[in-house]
Amino acid sequence: MKFLYAFFNAILFIVILLLASCSKDPVEPGYNQNELAPLSIEFDNIVGGQKLVLNTGTYTNALGQSYNIQLLEYFISNIQVKKADGTVYTVNPDSSYFLIRQDAPETKYARVKVPEGNYTSLTFTLGVDSLRSTMDISKRTGVLDPGAGSHDGMYWGWNSGYIFFKMEGIAADAPSDPTGQHKFRYHIGGFGGYSAPTINNIKVITIDLTARGIVQVRKDRSANIHLMADLSKVLSGTTNVSFAANPQVMFSDYSVNIANNYAKMFVHDHTEN
């Protein structure tokens, strides 16, 4: 009888420990929302040295082909900040997905909360990670909700996946479509998959903040990391993209080339503390 009583108490103790560990937030250990301070990351889209202007701006790629941009959208997710001593803070994933849209200036800021401190680097993902992409729809709300008008088509229903980066426009060198327009369309996605691995265009990007100003996060003020996203780099770099040869790129092997290019399009311009 004593043995059974001791056994029962041991099992109860283990269950309590498990419940206690499950109740802790694995992403934000030791913090609650009241202990966090505001931080914003500003994504300023440019083309070379020019400000991006939809529809009317004219640009030239590395192959000398002229073009304009009519639509630009991309997902930013899984934001982390790092201190000089190596301490890393990961923003709660449920609050770490943003859709940057050139036609909606209010979306250019990714606003999060992190502990007070001085941070020397920023890491984020361009795209939507495989874990979130395969979660139940109840865990994919806000900008990730596929049913909310698909956010201008940033979700492939036929492929059950998000379009990480979308850029469309007109280029004279692109072949004429049935409407007589010379359009290019780059819709880049692909999270790799599990049982049947496929194209993986998820890009994890780390930005060093030390050269242009570390970010000093405090509760009594707003800190902002100002990044420039140079769209000309989407078309050049490891691969120089030709509008004539590749005017339409979606879920194909060639999409990897564009993803490798856009992984290098972000530059830290300055920090506002």
3-class DSSP string for 71-107: EEEEEEEEEEEECCCCCEEECCHHHCEEEEECCCHHH
DSSP 257: H
Q: In a 3-state reduction of DSSP, which class is residue 258? A: helix
- Total-model pTM: 0.85
Measured CA to CA, the distance from residue 164 to residue 155 in angstroms comes to 9
pLDDT 10s digits, 184-233: 999 999 988 654 458 899 999 999 999 999 999 999 999 999 999 999 99
Per-chain mean pLDDT for the chain: 87
Residue 194: count of CB within 10 angstroms of its CB: 8
Contact 227, 45 (CB under 8 A): no
Measured CA to CA, the distance from residue 93 to residue 139 in angstroms comes to 10
Contact 92, 29 (CB under 8 A): no
Query: Tokens 């691995």 identify what position?
Result: 197
**Rounded CA Rg of the chain:** 22
Domain boundaries, given as residue ranges, for the chain: 37-272
More confident residue, 134 or 24: 134
Q: Is 60 exceeded by the pLDDT of residue 251?
A: yes
Contact 73, 166 (CB under 8 A): yes
